[in-house]
Amino acid sequence: MAQVKICGLRRPDHIVTAAESGARFVGFVFFPKSPRAVSAEEAALLIPHVPVGVARVGLFVNPDDAFLDHTLGHVPLDIIQLHGSEDPGRVAAVKALTGLPVMKAVGLAGPDDLAALTDYGLVADMLLVDAKPSKGGDLPGGNGLPFDWRLLVGRTWLGPWMLAGGLTPQNVAEAIRLTGAPAVDVSSGVEIEPGEKDEGLMRAFVAAAS
């Protein structure tokens, strides 16, 4: 039914399991506050375990140019995921700086947030539609928080997009059915504790989404 991205991978065997299960994207979190964070040097050792045909996504939160340069100097990536408060101008600038496609996360809590999908859709190569994080929280994503998927029912999309936020092996099929999402992204929902992926949950998630 939908393509799958598994985010926040930190172990070679988990990358292999994600790919063997059928995930089409694997994500590496370059945000030090996250329990899933990896350094550029650590990610460089993980990348050779990603099979050809699986897209390597780097997740960044309000990165400056130097941080992007440093990371990309160590880690070959296929897609940049921007998950902070980057405005559309910054999205365009990151695309120009890196020469890579950018997937911009947009947080939804209610109908007032939908306009941002149009604004970012004009500059980003792909949208990642996530729950809006709570104010003052440590992480702008990866919180296992779903949003009201009915906000997206009947929406016309002008480009590629992914659904994220609190997805699990139990709820992902219903989320895809309601929203028509062509792709889904998961982090917490395939973990046994923050930052610790579980192979059985990863397999179950991909099976439920496919």
Buried b (16+ CB within 10 A) or exposed e, 152-187: beeeeeeebbbbbbbbbbeebbebbeebebebbbbb
Residue numbers at the binding site for ligand LGQLAAA5 (CB under 6 A): 7-8, 27, 29, 31, 34, 36, 59, 61, 83, 128, 130, 139-145, 164-167, 185-189
Task: For ligand LGQLAAA5, give the closer residue by CB, 14 or 36.
Answer: 36
Closest CB to ligand LGQLAAA5 among 26 and 98?
26
Residue 101 CA to residue 11 CA, distance in Å, equals 25
User: Is 130 a known active-site residue?
Assistant: yes
How far is residue 25's CA from residue 50's CA, in Å, rounded to a whole number? Answer: 9
CB 117, min distance to ligand LGQLAAA5, A: 15
Which residue's CB is nearer to ligand LGQLAAA5, number 59 or number 75?
59
- Minimum CB–partner distance for residue 77 and ligand LGQLAAA5 (Å): 14
Name the nearest CA neighbour of 46 among 19, 69, 70, 82: 19
Catalytic positions, please? 7, 130
